[in-house]
Amino acid sequence: RNQKKWWQETVFYEIYMPSFCDGNGDGVGDFKGITSKLDYLKELGIGGIWLTPFYPSPKIDNGYDISDYYAVDPDYGTMEDFNGFIDEAHRQGIRVIVDLVLNHTSSAHAWFQESKSSTLSPKRDWYIWKSPVRQEAPNNWESFFGGSAWEWDEGTGQYYYHAFAKEQVDLNWANPEVRQAMKDVMGFWLDKGIDGFRLDVINFLKVSSDFQDNPVDDNGEQIHQFDQNQDGIVEAIGDICRYVHEREGIFMVGEVGSEDLDILRRYSGSGLLDVVFNFNLGSQEQFRPEDLYREIKRMEDQHASDQLPTLFFSSHDMQRHISRFGEGHTDLEEQRAKLMAALMLTAKGVPFIYYGDEIGMRNHIAHKIEDMRDIQGLSHYKAALQNGKTEEEAMDLARAKSRDYSRSPMQWNGDRYGGFSEQAPWIGMGPGHEQIHVQAQREQPDSMYSFYKKLLSLRLRHAALSSGDYVRLEQLEGSAIAYTKRSGGEEAVIVLHFGDQPLLLGLSDWSGQRLELAAASGEMASLGGSVIEVPPHTAAVWIS
Ligand code: TEU
C-alpha cells in the first residue's frame, strides 16, 4: 500500500514576512509577531507554513536578495526567535517550510563582493561575468524587472548578469563550488529542524552557455528562451533534491516560473521536486470557470502517478484573486472568493492559502509613487521615465507591474493599523481594513473566515477531500465544475456552481448523500426525486 506523505494532505499558508504581525512595534512583521499568531493558524486548521525569506538582506526585493544565508535579518528578530518559532509551530502540529533563493544572492553578499574585487578572485566564477561585445552588453537579455539584465562593473571592466534587480546577482550554477555551497546552506537549515523548502525561480539556475540573443515577439516583448529551462537544469535540481531527500519527510516545492503545464511537468516527481507551483491554473487573470476546469482536467490527464498539482490563486507576486475575479462588485467578490476557497480545499492537490485571503483582504493600490514599495513597480517606473515616457504613463506602467497589491498588512482588528502594529506599517493598509478583519469575521457565521474554517475542518475529517483521487470530473453547463473524489470507502461529491442562473442537478447520478457544506446565495431546493436546484454562485459538498 502506498503510504501517504504528510504534505500530500497538508494545507499550507503563505506568510509574507514583513506583513503578517509586528511583535516589536517597528511597523515591520517579525518572528515574535508570527509566533504569537500560531494559535490563530492552528484554530483555522492550517497544517504547514511557508515563510518568505527572513535572512539578512538589504531588502531591495524584501528578502529575495539574501546577503547572508546563515542568519536571521535583525528586522525579523534573532536566531533565538526563529528557533522559538519553529518549536512552537511544531508543538502545535504545524510544519514550516522556508523560502530559499538559490538562483541569485544580494550584491551585498560577501561572495559577490569578493567576486567583484578582481577578475582573478577565486570567487570570480561564482557569478556570471562577461566582457563587452562591440562595447555593449553581451546580448539582449532583459531583466524581469525591466531594462537590461547586464550591469557594467567599472572596476573590472566586465558585465555581470542579473535576471531580476541589479542588486540580485545570478550565481553561476555551472560551477560545482556554487552547488556545494548551497547544499551546505540547505543542510544548515535542515539541521535546525525545518520541514522543507520553497525554492525560488528554480528553473532559472542555468542559462544557455552560448549566450544567444533571446527572440522577440510581434509586440516587441522578449521571449525568455535562453535564460531559463536550459539543458542540465533538471539534472541540477535532481541533484539538490536527492541531497535533501536523504532526510526523511522533507518537502520540496519549486517555483518554476511558467504557466505552461508541459514545462512545469518536467520538474516534479520521484527524484525531483515533490511539487511545483501550478501557475497554469493559479495565475488566470480573468474569471473563467471553463479555463479553471480545463487546467484541472489537463493536470489530471497529464500528470504522472507521482505528480500532484498545487492549488493557489494568490501570492506575494500576484494580485489578490478576490479582487482579480470580483469585477469590482462586492457581492461577486465574496461569492467567487468562497467558490475559489472551496475549489482550493477540495480539489486534488496541495493548497497554498495566501495570508489574508481567509478574510477576503482586497488589493491594496499605491496611487502615488512615494507610496509604492515594490522593486518591480519602481524599476519599471524608472525605466519608463528614462525612455522618455511622461510621468503619467510611467505611473500607469508602475501600477501595472507593482506587486504591492497583495502585500498590505494582515488585518487582525479594526484599529488604525489593523492590529498588525502600533506604528505606521512599512506599506499602506488595504482598502476597507476598518471593516474587513479577523476579529469581526470570527463572530459572523457566514463570513469568509468562517467559511474557510468550516472547509478546513471538513477536510481534516474526510480523507476523500484531503487526499482522495477523482473518480469523476466534469464541467456542467459551462458554468459549473463537479467532481467526485474517493478515499478508502468514503466518497465526496463537490459541485462548484459559478453561474448566475440556478443549476439543475440529478444528485442520484452523482450519489452524494449528506450535504455537509454550502456557501450559497439561497437554499438548495429539492425538485422531487433526486433532482435539486443549485442556486447561483454556490459551492456544495456532499459526503457518503
Ligand atoms: O518570483 C519569480 C518571478 O518569476 C517573478 O518575477 C514573477 O513572475 C513576477 O514577479 C510576477 O509579477 C520570485 C519571487 O516570488 C519574487 O517575489 C521575487 O521578486 C523573484 O523571484 C526574484 O527573487
Question: How does pLDDT run across 407-459, given as a tens digit for each residue?
Answer: 999 999 999 999 999 999 999 999 999 999 999 999 999 999 999 999 999 99
Hey, whose CA ends up nearest to atom 18 of ligand 1? Answer: 64
Averaged pLDDT, 267-294: 96
Nearest CA, atom 5, ligand 1: 317
> Given a cut of 60, is residue 111 above it in pLDDT?
yes
Q: Give me ligand 1 centre to Cα 64, in Å.
A: 9
**CA 255–ligand 1 middle distance (angstroms):** 9
Could you give the CA distance from residue 370 to residue 118 in angstroms, rounded to a whole number? Answer: 38
- Do 502 and 477 share a structural domain? yes
Same structural domain for residues 143 and 160? yes
3-class SS letters over 139-153: CCCECCCCCECEEEE
Q: Are 182 and 253 within one domain?
A: yes
**Ligand 1 atom closest to Cα of residue 104:** 23
**Residue 182 host element (H or E):** helix 176-191
Q: What mean pLDDT do residues 142-159 have? A: 95
User: What CATH number should be reported for the domain holding residue 516?
Assistant: 2.60.40.1180
ipTM over 0.85: yes
As beta bridge partners, residue 18 has: none
- DSSP summary character for residue 122: T
| pTM given for the model | 0.97
Catalytic residues: 200, 246
Q: Is residue 238 located within the same domain as residue 184?
A: yes
- Domain of 118, CATH number, reads 3.90.400.10
**Entry field: residues in the chain:** 544
Whether 134 and 31 map to the same domain: the answer is: no
Is residue 499 within 8 A of residue 526, CB to CB? The reply is no
State which of 99, 167, 200 you would mutate to test the pocket of ligand 1, scoring each by most atoms of that ligand within 8 A of its C-beta.
200
State the cell numbers at 107.
Answer: 550584491
Could you tell me if 22 and 31 are in contact, meaning their C-beta atoms sit under 8 angstroms apart?
no
Predicted local distance difference test score (pLDDT) of residue 1: 44
224 domain residue, yes or no:
no
Q: Within a domain: residue 70?
A: yes
Predicted pLDDT at 521: 65
CA of 261 to the centre of ligand 1 (A): 18
- Return the closest-CA partner of residue 44 out of 420, 459, 463, 334: 459
Q: Once rounded to an integer, what is the mean pLDDT over residues 465-485? A: 95
How many other β-carbons are positioned within 10 Å of the β-carbon of residue 80? 10
What is the atom index within ligand 1 of the atom nearest the CA of 64?
23
pLDDT (0 to 100) of residue 333: 96
Give the helix/strand (H/E) hosting 438: helix 438-443
**Is 338 contained in some domain?**
yes
**Is 225 inside a domain boundary?**
no
Ligand 1: lining residues by beta carbon, under 6 Å:
61, 64, 101, 144, 164, 200-201, 255, 257, 316-317, 376, 403
| Ligand 1 geometric centre to CA of 100 (Å) | 13
- Return the pLDDT at 517: 78
Q: How many domains does the chain have?
A: 4
Atom of ligand 1 nearest to the CA of 376: 10
The verdict on 512 and 417 lying in the same domain is no
Half-sphere exposure for 111 (CA within 13 Å, toward CB):
21
Model confidence band, residue 120 (pLDDT cutoffs 50, 70, 90): very high
Q: How many whole angstroms from 224 Cα to the centroid of ligand 1? A: 14
> Which of 417, 448, 479 is at the close of a domain?
448
Residue of 68, 76, 71 lying closest to 108 (CA atoms): 68
The reported pLDDT for the residue numbered 512 is 73
DSSP conformation class of 3? P
| Domain presence at residue 27 | yes
CA of 55 to the centre of ligand 1 (A): 17
Query: Which of 201, 260, 315 has the most ligand 1 atoms within 8 A of CB, as the residue to mutate?
Result: 201
CB-based contacts of 92: which residues, under 8 Å, 6+ apart? 38, 39, 41, 42
In a domain? residue 456: no
**Mean pLDDT of the 238-250 span:** 97
Q: Which 8-state DSSP code applies to residue 204? A: G
Q: Residue 476 domain-assigned?
A: yes
Pair 389, 319 in one domain? no
Structural domain contains residue 226: no
pLDDT tens for 314-338 read: 999 999 999 999 999 999 999 999 9
What are the Cα distances from residue 104, in Å, to 28, 146, 200, 314? Answer: 24, 17, 9, 24
**Domain co-membership, 62 together with 200:** yes
Residues 249 and 328 in one domain: yes
Residues 360 and 375 in one domain: no
Nearest residue (by CA) to ligand 1, atom 23, is 64
* Tens digits of residue pLDDT in 182-194: 999 999 999 999 9
Which residue, judged by its Cα, is nearest atom 2 of ligand 1?
201
Domain co-membership, 390 together with 534: no
Which residue has the least CA distance to atom 11 on ligand 1? 317
CATH number at residue 306: 3.20.20.80
Counting from 1 in the atom list of ligand 1, the atom nearest the Cα of 315 is 15
Q: Examine the domain organization and report whether 475 and 392 are in the same domain.
A: no
Tell me which H or E stretch contains 35: helix 31-36
Q: Residue 138 sits in which domain range? A: 110-169
